[in-house]
Amino acid sequence: MREQLALLIELQKMESKAGSIAARKKDLPVQLADLEAKFKEHHAGVETVREHLEELRKRRRDKDNQLRTGQETLKRTRDRLLDVKTNKEYQSVLKEIETFESKNSHMEDEIISLLDELDLLEKAVKTREEELEAQSRRYEEEKTKMTDELSSLVGELDVCTRKSGELKKNISADILRKYEQIKNAKRGVAVVSCWKEVCNGCHMSIPPQLYNELQKSMALVICPNCSRIIYWENKKN
Ligand SMILES: [Zn+2]
């Protein structure tokens, strides 16, 4: 029985290890997807700022063109002064010139403030792009690490399954059936140690006679309280 118990303990260890590996294996892709979503979000954020910058640049080109047109119109209007015949006409052209000058000057002011805005935005885009690049590197590193871990987990899980299978071959069918039954009922922990008449599964005392039997290790002993398989563990050693 001692040997069978040792095999059961080993089997439980192996199955518990397989359980942790399986949980991690399930969790990793979730973490990876989360990481990817965050990276994409950051990327989209940078893209939005870049688009804004493009818009501003286009607005600047438009305003430059408008100013050029305004300056040409102003020049043409000034040229017209040479051809005017009457004072009234002269005054009217002067008025027009004044209006165009004011419009052009307003346009120049707009361009200057646009240039300031562009300057700030260009710096912001540069910073965001640098951040994105660093984040991209981190993301790729993490991704590689996680992918590597995932594939090594597959291997580890295989080893656990194989070892569990080998252990099961050496455990008697009755005991194995009992173990599986308790394991399913107790969420994985079917075999627990017992020391000084206390079951390590439920922390309750077991009857002295049963404890004596347990120490002899002649039969499979079940804790009368939590119904787990118990084994005597000499903690003095
Ligand atoms: Zn117990």
What distance in angstroms lies between residue 230's CA and the mean position of ligand 1's atoms?
7
Looking at the structure of the chain, the number of domains it has is 2
**b/e burial code for range 18-33 (CB count within 10 A of at least 16 → b):** beebeeeeeebeeebe
Same domain, 105 and 217: no
pLDDT at 123 over 80: yes
What distance in angstroms lies between residue 193's CA and the mean position of ligand 1's atoms?
9
Has residue 3 been placed in a domain?
no
What integer is the mean pLDDT of 141-156?
Answer: 96
Which of 155, 171, 187 lies at the terminal end of a domain, its last residue?
A: 171
Which of 153, 171, 189 lies at the terminal end of a domain, its last residue?
A: 171
The angle at the Cα of 214, spanning 213 to 220, to the nearest 5 degrees, equals 100
Q: Residue 179 is part of which domain span?
A: 175-232
What distance in angstroms lies between residue 4's CA and the mean position of ligand 1's atoms?
19
Has residue 130 been placed in a domain?
yes
Same domain, 179 and 113: no
Residue 43, number of CB atoms within 10 A of its CB: 14
- The distance in angstroms from the start CA to the end CA of the chain is 21
Same domain, 140 and 194: no
SS3 112: helix
pLDDT at 217 over 90: no
Over residues 11-27, the pLDDT tens digits come to 999 999 999 999 999 99
- Which percentage of the chain shows pLDDT scores above 70? 100
Has residue 106 been placed in a domain?
yes
What distance in angstroms lies between residue 185's CA and the mean position of ligand 1's atoms?
13
Same domain, 189 and 220: yes
What distance in angstroms lies between residue 12's CA and the mean position of ligand 1's atoms?
16
Same domain, 118 and 22: yes
Verdict on whether the full-model pTM lies above 0.85: no
Q: Residue 193: what are its φ and ψ, rounded to 5°?
A: -85, 165
Same domain, 85 and 129: yes
What distance in angstroms lies between residue 189's CA and the mean position of ligand 1's atoms?
11
